[in-house]
Amino acid sequence: MADFKSAIGRGAIVTVMNANVYTPDSTVVKGWSADSPSEIITELKGMTAVAEIDHLKFANLTMSGPDITITGGRYANTLVKFGKSLRCEMQSALCDKDALVALGGAVYDETDGSLTITDKFPGPVSIVGDTFIVDQASGEQIPVKIVIYQFLPDAIVSLTQDEATAATFDLNGDVLSVEIAGDGGSCSTKVSAFYSIVDACESGE
């Protein structure tokens, strides 16, 4: 019987996620240090999503690092590595006013329906993505959630237009590290995290 544990152990994420965007305040984010990923998803789902994006062409999470390396010894080997950074690059296939307001610093005028791209930078948001893992052994689709705890949008809205394809919108940004409940080693009950992949059924789906 395929389940989340078997799929995350040996499976494939084969499609792009749908993304719900939330704007929790700093008090909520600081409180996450005591919460597990599933508990954080429950908190976010209790809020109203500022954007629901179900038309992404891709959503790539790309990590880089280390930020600091310490070398030494006879061959100047790398002794210590510290610090990672994470980027999330998303491209929207459709013009979506809510996504462009939340992630692009756009302003939408309810009166005349105009959408204006401004020079403003929005604050950090949280993203909960819905996708699935195909279990390698059974071929079953196991629903999962990808929770990006803090995403700071670039708000550099690139509108790509050409004759061959429809226009697309880039919605990229930095993924910020936050503290959540977890095994941080030694006597710590907190871990610094960028994002988590969790069982959609166990997280209240």
Residue 203 is predicted with a pLDDT of: 65
Evaluate whether 53 touches 99 at the Cβ level (below 8 Å): yes
Would residue 98 count as lying in a domain?
yes
Per DSSP, the residues of 70-118 read EEETTTTEEEEEE--EEEEEEEESS--HHHHHHHH-EEE-TTT--EEE-
Cα dihedral sign, 198-199-200-201: negative
Q: Is residue 140 part of a domain?
A: yes
pLDDT score of 188: 84
Confidence (pLDDT) at 204: 55
Most confident of 3-7, 158-162, 195-199: 195-199
Tell me, yes or no, whether 175 lies in a domain.
yes
Concatenate the DSSP letters of all residues of 105-164 into one string: -EEE-TTT--EEE-S-----EEEEEEEEEEETTT--EEEEEEEEEEEEE----EEE--SS
43 in a domain, yes or no? yes
Does residue 202 register a pLDDT over 80?
no
Total number of domains in the chain:
1
Look at residue 74 and tell me if it is in a domain: no
pLDDT tens digits, 39-97: 999 999 999 999 999 999 999 999 999 999 999 999 999 999 999 999 999 999 989 99
Length of the chain counted residue by residue:
205
% of the chain at pLDDT higher than 90:
79
Average pLDDT, the chain: 92
Mean pLDDT of the 168-187 span:
90
Q: Which of 16, 88, 22, 105 is nearest to 56 (CA)?
A: 16
Q: Report yes or no on 77 lying in a domain.
A: no
Average pLDDT value for residue range 161-190: 88
Residue 94 lies in a domain: yes
d(CA 54, CA 148): 16
pTM for the complete prediction? Answer: 0.90
Residue 57 lies in a domain: yes
**Which pLDDT does position 199 carry in this prediction?**
92
- 10 Å CB burial of residue 137 (0-12, 13-18, 19+) is exposed
- 132 versus 161: the higher-pLDDT residue is 132
Domain that holds residue 128: 4-63+86-199
